[in-house]
Each structure stands twice: as structure tokens, then as C-alpha cells.
Amino acid sequence: MKLYTFPPAPNPRRLNTYLGEKQILLSVELVNLTRAEHKQPQILAMNPMGGLPFLELDDGTILTESLAIMEYLEELNPEPPMIGHTPVERALTRRLERICELGVLTRVARIVHNTNSPLPDVNADPAIAEQMREELPRVLRMLDQEMGGRAFLAGDRPTIADCTLFGAWEFGRMFGVEFDSGLENLHRWHQSFLQRPSATWNPDPGTTSVN
């Protein structure tokens, strides 16, 4: 299998964090989004949407979308469980993951790309960024309250929800998105998660570039 990715971006980062938690090694090819390499013909031939990451299986099948890739790899590598053992655990974990993606990651990305986007040819709209800044704290406060004193979002072990939130949080920090200091549980979680090997996981020390 080969993973096409660009680690600084939030969706690749959430998948990379998952790979680190599972200690999964893959062949990796870097596709630099800031140089618009995702628009090159050979990339679009595999993934017409041009998004990252995507996974090329041994038989040539292309899997796009971070969540789909994580769920596929979870089927192949069920331990340690990153979605849950029981139907209830899996449902609750998927719920939190979707909140983290749609409620946090999407808003953080829209703030960044409508203020100081690293991507070329992005037409920034400050009004969208401002709207996202107004909406983001409500979601974060809800997650902070729900987490309470737990070590991780969904309980006593990391899940795909933590991976998604970590990817969003790190992308926001990279571009100056501020997270309210009153989010005590989330800040505690973030500082702890930074110490995990998955925070800096490299799934392929022999990573190559698309160029």
C-alpha cells in the first residue's frame, strides 16, 4: 500500500496520528499542497477530487477520505481498538469524531484559509473567517464539558476522535488560531497528547516526494 499525503495539512495529520497510535508503517509519497502538486495529472488520475490523503491499495484500489481510510485500516488492525469494541462504543466514538471534524476541524480550516491560507490561489473571505471564529468556541466548550476529567475524548484510551481533534488543533496552532484558555480539559488533553509518539509519527522513514 502507498499513502499519498502532506503531513502539515489537518486531514493528513489526523490520519498520521491514527497511524502512530496503531504503529502502522506504510510507503509514503509526499504531495506538496502549497506547490499545488495535488493538481498534477498523475495525482488527479488517481483521485480526481485532488484531496489528501488517499491510500493506494496493492490491487490499485484508491481509498480517499481520512475517515474511510482509518476505518479500513481498523478492519485490518483491530488492536488496539481506535473505534470501539461494542456497538455502543463505536457509535459514541463515531459521534465524537464527526463533531470534531465538522464542528472543529472544518471551522479551523475555514478560519485559516480565509485569513492566511498556505495554499496558492485561495480567495480569502474575512467574513467567513469571522463567522467561524464566532461559532468555534461553542463546539469546543461542549467538547471540554463532555470530556470532563477523562484522559481522552471518548474514555480512557485514544480513539479516532482524538486523532481528528489533534489534527485540527495543531493546524490551528500553526496559523495562529486561538483556543480559549478556559478550555481547561482540552488544554490538559492537548498537552498530554503532544507527549505521545503519535504526535510526531513518521509512517515511512523513506518518504519520497512526488517531484
Residue range 184-195, pLDDT digits in tens: 999 999 999 999
Examine the pLDDT at 211 and tell me if it is beyond 90: no
What's the CATH architecture for 87-197?
Up-down Bundle (1.20)
Ramachandran category for residue 55: left, alpha or beta (phi over 0 → left; psi -120 to 50 → alpha): beta
Q: Are 18 and 70 in contact (CB under 8 A)?
A: yes
Measured distance CA(33)–CA(197) in Å, rounded: 25
Q: Are 207 and 22 in contact (CB under 8 A)?
A: no
- Which pLDDT belongs to residue 205? 65
Mean pLDDT (whole number) for 49-77:
97
Residue range 129-179, pLDDT digits in tens: 999 999 999 999 999 999 999 999 999 999 999 999 999 999 999 999 999
Every domain of the chain and the residues it spans: 2-81, 87-197
Examine the pLDDT at 124 and tell me if it is beyond 90: yes
Angle at 143 between CA 138 and CA 147, to 5 degrees: 150
Residue range 89-109, pLDDT digits in tens: 999 999 999 999 999 999 999
Angle at 120 between CA 4 and CA 100, to 5 degrees: 60
Measured distance CA(148)–CA(191) in Å, rounded: 15
Would you say the pTM of this structure is higher than 0.85?
Answer: yes
Q: Which fold has domain 2-81?
A: Glutaredoxin (3.40.30)
pLDDT band for position 207 (cuts 50, 70, 90) = low
Residue range 13-60, pLDDT digits in tens: 999 999 999 999 999 999 999 999 999 999 999 999 999 999 999 999
Cell of 185: 480539559
Q: Are 11 and 52 in contact (CB under 8 A)?
A: yes
